[in-house]
């Protein structure tokens, strides 16, 4: 394994409401949040785009002009940073994400590698939101991969369960992608649990040359699993998309505090943190 760990920061996410949580929305806010994470050790910034009208910052936005403005602001604030665009939409029409990829040309973009019933039940037995199918059929994935090849964007396959992870190698066997790098998404209630004991099992199903990282969703219970990811040679991700809580259970003041905590965990596991230039050599 490489002793260098690349840290990604997902600075805002798709569901977090800026009226309730301190997530950035405007280009200025996104640039400041990215710089905070960058200064703490993140070399990759994962971007979701939000509507810019007053009071609409909790809504997704697929306006390529917004994507370009935010990407430009982040790049200007963080010299050498690697950008990773979100592309996830629940239905088949992904013309919005495709337009943003073509306009913004990020180095990396998410490619959700399979479908998932996106569910959560509250403690009193109600659905936390109406049950939703996050549909990612093969033709949708193939369409997105073709655009990424056109834009020179590396796909990061988001894997929510073991079947989705195993499918990634099939995409490569079919010639849909040359190299299959994965992000193990753990902690979605209807997907893989955030459980460090699962990691050695999951790694058996990686391609032999695949780079991997883990996205861990939850509260302070995620941090021992981050340590296990670091010990096993994975790359690391945190940010206000994934958690609001530091290892001691306190609320994070922002993305920088989360990245700083993750850097400490990586270093305790014997890993050093990749600089932006080193991250480019490892990831691109």
Average of per-residue pLDDT across 205-225 = 95
Asked if 133 and 115 count as a contact pair (C-beta separation under 8 A), the reply is: yes
pLDDT at 73: 98
pLDDT at 208: 82
pLDDT at 69: 98
pLDDT at 97: 98
Average of per-residue pLDDT across 280-284 = 93
Percentage of residues of the chain with pLDDT beyond 70: 99
CATH code, domain with 235: 3.20.20.70
Q: In whole angstroms, what is the distance from residue 90 CA to residue 115 CA?
A: 9
pLDDT at 29: 97
- Mean pLDDT of the chain, nearest integer: 96
Query: Where does the pLDDT of residue 22 fall: very low under 50, low under 70, confident under 90, or very high at 90 and above?
Result: confident
What are the C-alpha distances in Å from 223 to residues 178, 195, 203? 33, 11, 19
Q: Give which of 4, 3, 9, 2 is closest to 261, Cα–Cα.
A: 9
pLDDT digits (tens, 9 = 90+) for 110-141: 999 999 999 999 999 999 999 999 999 999 99
Average of per-residue pLDDT across 230-256 = 97
pLDDT at 209: 87
Quote the number of domains for the chain.
1
SS (H, E, C) the chain: CCCEECEEEECCCCCCCCCCCCCCCCHHHHHHHHHHHHHHCCCEEEECCECCCCCCCCCECCCHHHHHHHHHHHHHHCCCCEEEECCCCCCCCCHHHHHHHHHHCCCEEEEECCCEEECCECCCCCECCCCEEECCCHHHHHHHHHHHHHHCCEEEEEECCHHHHHHHHHHHHCCCCCCCEEEEEECCCCCECCCHHHHHHHHCCCCCCCCEEEEECCCHHHHHHHHHHHHCCCEEEECCCCCCECCCCCECCCHHHHHHHHHHHHHHCCCEECCHHHHHHHHC
pLDDT tops 70 at residue 1: no
pLDDT digits (tens, 9 = 90+) for 66-121: 999 999 999 999 999 999 999 999 999 999 999 999 999 999 999 999 999 999 99
Query: Where does the pLDDT of residue 16 fall: very low under 50, low under 70, confident under 90, or very high at 90 and above?
Result: confident
Q: In whole angstroms, what is the distance from residue 120 CA to residue 190 CA?
A: 7
Average of per-residue pLDDT across 168-193 = 96
Residue 260's domain comprises: 4-283
Query: Where does the pLDDT of residue 21 fall: very low under 50, low under 70, confident under 90, or very high at 90 and above?
Result: confident
Query: Where does the pLDDT of residue 246 fall: very low under 50, low under 70, confident under 90, or very high at 90 and above?
Result: very high
Say what the pTM is: 0.96
pLDDT tops 90 at residue 142: yes
């Amino acid at each position: 394994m490489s002793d260098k760990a690349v840290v990604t920061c997902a600075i805002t996410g798709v569901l977090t409401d800026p009226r309730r949580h301190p997530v950035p929305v405007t280009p200025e806010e996104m640039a400041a949040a990215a710089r905070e994470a960058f200064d703490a050790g993140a070399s990759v910034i994962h971007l979701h785009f939000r509507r810019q009208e007053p009071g609409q910052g909790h809504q997704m936005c697929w306006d390529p002009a917004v994507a370009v403005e935010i990407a430009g602001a982040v790049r200007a604030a963080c010299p050498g940073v690697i950008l990773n665009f979100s592309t996830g939409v629940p239905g088949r029409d992904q013309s919005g994400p495709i337009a943003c990829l073509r306009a913004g040309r990020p180095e990396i973009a998410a490619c959700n590698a399979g479908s998932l019933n996106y569910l959560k039940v509250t403690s009193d037995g109600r659905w936390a939101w109406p049950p939703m199918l996050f549909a990612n059929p093969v033709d949708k994935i193939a369409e997105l991969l073709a655009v990424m090849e056109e834009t020179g964007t590396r796909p990061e396959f988001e894997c929510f369960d073991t079947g989705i992870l195993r499918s990634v190698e099939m995409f490569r066997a079919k010639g849909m992608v040359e190299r299959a790098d994965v992000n193990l998404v753990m902690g979605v209630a209807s997907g893989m649990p955030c459980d460090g004991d699962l990691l050695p099992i999951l790694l058996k199903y990686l391609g032999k040359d695949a780079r991997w990282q883990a996205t861990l969703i939850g509260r302070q219970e995620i941090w021992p699993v981050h340590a296990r990811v670091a010990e096993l040679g994975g790359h690391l991700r945190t940010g206000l998309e994934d958690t609001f809580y530091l290892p001691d259970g306190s609320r994070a003041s922002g993305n920088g505090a989360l990245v700083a905590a993750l850097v400490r965990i990586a270093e305790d596991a014997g890993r050093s943190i990749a600089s932006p230039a080193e991250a480019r050599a490892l990831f691109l």
